[in-house]
Structure 1
């Protein structure tokens, strides 16, 4: 009985939506979604101008191409700056929590959490290297990638002497830690400085 009811519900929903749900920022769906909000607002408060929705401030999402493009479009942002905006590159390698992840044009849509480590941006023979502390990489179906980091710095601006000093300091703190909080803080510092050291050597 339960299986029959489930099958009926699934067949109805499949008939009602034969194609995948569009993204809210797709070219076709964005104006319709905004207009639906405006129409609903006018029914409730006809004498007030409707507020602008987030879609009013967003560029429409480019359509997913039918073939894999030759370039990946990358946006790399920090809370206080935009490092890369709409940059066409061949590949990006990010330090995901599951391991180093290479992102190429046509990559499957993915959300990956970042850990402290080396991020490289490849464009021909040119390779830009950044150390990122943490964040997320959002890879879209249309060969766009948004990389958001809490903190990042070009590798050539890192002082190796300070990294080794910090590594020694946090190793000593971890060995002498007496509480769980002190151990956790020391371990975080040690992990970050170890990742900095690896980024400099890699």
Structure 2
């Protein structure tokens, strides 16, 4: 907000256009932005861009690698870090999505469901509540989930009991808020029940 306020006061409309045009013409990289900024506003340090806070990703390889590198993180922990696997299947909102090495760059929203990580004959299963999968062109997948638990740690009897309780709450809900909260519970617990029983 501060940057927009300062830049709009300091730059005329034509200077803003030329700054944007120069950066776009040079590919939009941080260096191009800084160069264009310094040409236009020499007495103010340029703001940091998101690229300055990110680690450099390896380039897209000329051939498809044999392994997919996966980072699977939660807000409070990292489940997998730079783990090389054969395939990951995530519960995208559009359906189950398999991610293999060489997958096209994609961003997918996750819904409650089963995520599987395949490494040879070993398959690790997690239940994820929601989140996003970011698949990069260089065969790296970053999967960010709000909550996740290894499926073997889930007690099916507890899930079924909880599902019955929230289903009852849904049928007896009187306000829109109660109905929405109960519906979320039914959706998540139904998906969890399906994951542990299948």
TM-score by length of 1: 0.76
The aligned counterpart of 2:50 is: 54
- The Cα of 1:140 is off from its aligned counterpart by 1.5
Once residues 106 and 47 of structure 2 are traced to their aligned partners in structure 1, the CA distance between those partners, rounded to angstroms, is: 32
> Would you say the 8 A contact 2:156–2:197 is kept in 1?
no
- Deviation string for 1:101-120 (max 9, x for gaps)? 11111112221111001101
- The Cα of 1:38 is off from its aligned counterpart by 3.6
1:4-23 to 2 correspondences below 5 Å: none
Judged with a 3 Å threshold, the aligned counterparts in structure 2 of structure 1 residues 53 and 108 are, in CA distance, closer, same or farther, namely: closer
Is the aligned partner of 1:100 residue 2:96? yes
- The Cα of 1:167 is off from its aligned counterpart by 0.5
Structure 2 gap ranges (5+): 1-26
Structure 1 gap ranges (5+): 1-28
Once residues 173 and 88 of structure 1 are traced to their aligned partners in structure 2, the CA distance between those partners, rounded to angstroms, is: 43
- Kindly tell me the number of residue pairs found equivalent between the two proteins: 173
- The Cα of 1:151 is off from its aligned counterpart by 1.1
The aligned counterpart of 2:168 is: 172
The aligned counterpart of 2:124 is: 128
- The Cα of 1:45 is off from its aligned counterpart by 6.7
Once residues 172 and 43 of structure 2 are traced to their aligned partners in structure 1, the CA distance between those partners, rounded to angstroms, is: 68
The aligned counterpart of 2:67 is: 71
Once residues 103 and 47 of structure 2 are traced to their aligned partners in structure 1, the CA distance between those partners, rounded to angstroms, is: 36
- The Cα of 1:173 is off from its aligned counterpart by 0.8
1:155-170 to 2 correspondences below 5 Å: 155-170=151-166
Is the aligned partner of 1:90 residue 2:86? yes
Judged with a 3 Å threshold, the aligned counterparts in structure 2 of structure 1 residues 180 and 47 are, in CA distance, closer, same or farther, namely: closer
Secondary structure, counterpart of 1:64 in structure 2: coil
Q: Which runs of 4+ in 1 moved over 6 A?
A: none
